[in-house]
């Protein structure tokens, strides 16, 4: 089992019945947030021999492409202003306060570049909720309200030379040409990565970039 899994398992053993631990996984695009969140969730459920953990990605709160086109931000999809941050903060508040009934969350589907409403169910049995996203530690309203809901925040510190090839390949896998993928990385992903890097100082824990 992983060292991070060991640490998280020990933390969960201290969470009392009826309480909830919210872990934020933060990092630049391509840093491996989704992969780490999924692995930790699976490991906690396996160790506890029950479904005690669930992942809720921030990406479910992307504004629709239609709305982004209206406000002329579609080419910059992925920057903070292209997310419904107010609704995301509201959901976090609901997850932290609602313990005896389910809370439903949206899921972003990359294959259709759109969010599917109410596709993730946070149940009362989930005492670990892993939130993963770029801007969980961003110090601007309303993003800045997020930290009060996070029990801990783990920042994946990944250098640009590692994430750039991943991002280019991700965009190509989504249907972009190599040149279009590189342009998207230059216009959106690299500025985002620099913005996110500046939030590292607010993390509870900084993790090395996974290979």
Give the Cα separation of 20 and 168 in Å (integer): 37
pLDDT (0 to 100) of residue 71: 96
Find residue 129's DSSP bridge partners. 22, 54
Beta carbons of 120 and 54 less than 8 angstroms apart: yes
Domain CATH number, residue 181: 3.40.50.300
- Structural domain span for residue 152: 3-208
- Per-residue pLDDT in tens (0 to 9) along the chain, 211 residues: 588 999 999 999 898 878 899 999 999 888 899 999 999 999 999 999 999 999 999 999 999 999 999 999 998 898 999 999 999 999 999 999 988 899 999 999 988 888 999 999 999 999 999 999 999 999 999 999 999 999 999 999 998 888 888 888 888 888 888 888 888 888 888 888 889 999 999 999 999 887 6
- Report pLDDT for 164: 85
| Residue from 22, 209, 4 nearest 132 by CA | 22
pLDDT digits (tens, 9 = 90+) for 121-143: 999 999 999 999 999 999 999 99
CA-CA distances (angstroms) from residue 193 to 21, 79, 92, 143, 162? 27, 10, 24, 16, 12
What pLDDT sits at residue 136?
Answer: 97
So what's the pLDDT on residue 160? Answer: 85
Whether 108 and 57 have beta carbons less than 8 Å apart is answered as yes
Please give the pLDDT value at position 211: 63
| Overall number of domains in the chain | 1
């Amino acid at each position: 089992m992983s060292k991070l899994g060991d640490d998280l398992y020990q933390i969960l053993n201290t969470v009392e019945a009826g309480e909830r631990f919210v872990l934020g996984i933060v990092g630049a695009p391509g840093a491996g947030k989704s992969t780490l969140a999924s692995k930790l969730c699976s490991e906690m459920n396996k160790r506890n021999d029950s479904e005690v953990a669930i992942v809720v990605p921030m990406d479910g709160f992307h504004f629709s492409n239609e709305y982004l086109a209206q406000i002329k931000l579609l080419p910059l999809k992925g920057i903070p202003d292209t997310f419904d941050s107010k609704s995301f903060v509201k959901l976090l508040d609901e997850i932290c306060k609602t313990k005896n009934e389910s809370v439903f969350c949206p899921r972003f589907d990359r294959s259709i570049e759109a969010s599917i409403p109410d596709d993730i169910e946070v149940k009362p049995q989930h005492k670990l909720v892993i939130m993963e996203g770029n801007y969980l530690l961003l110090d601007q309203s309303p993003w800045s309200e997020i930290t009060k809901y996070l029990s801990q925040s783990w920042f994946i510190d990944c250098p640009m030379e590692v994430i750039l090839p991943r991002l280019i390949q991700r965009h190509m896998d989504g249907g972009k040409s190599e040149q279009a993928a590189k342009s998207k990385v230059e216009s959106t992903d690299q500025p985002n990565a620099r913005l996110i890097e500046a939030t590292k100082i607010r993390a509870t824990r900084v993790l090395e970039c996974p290979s």
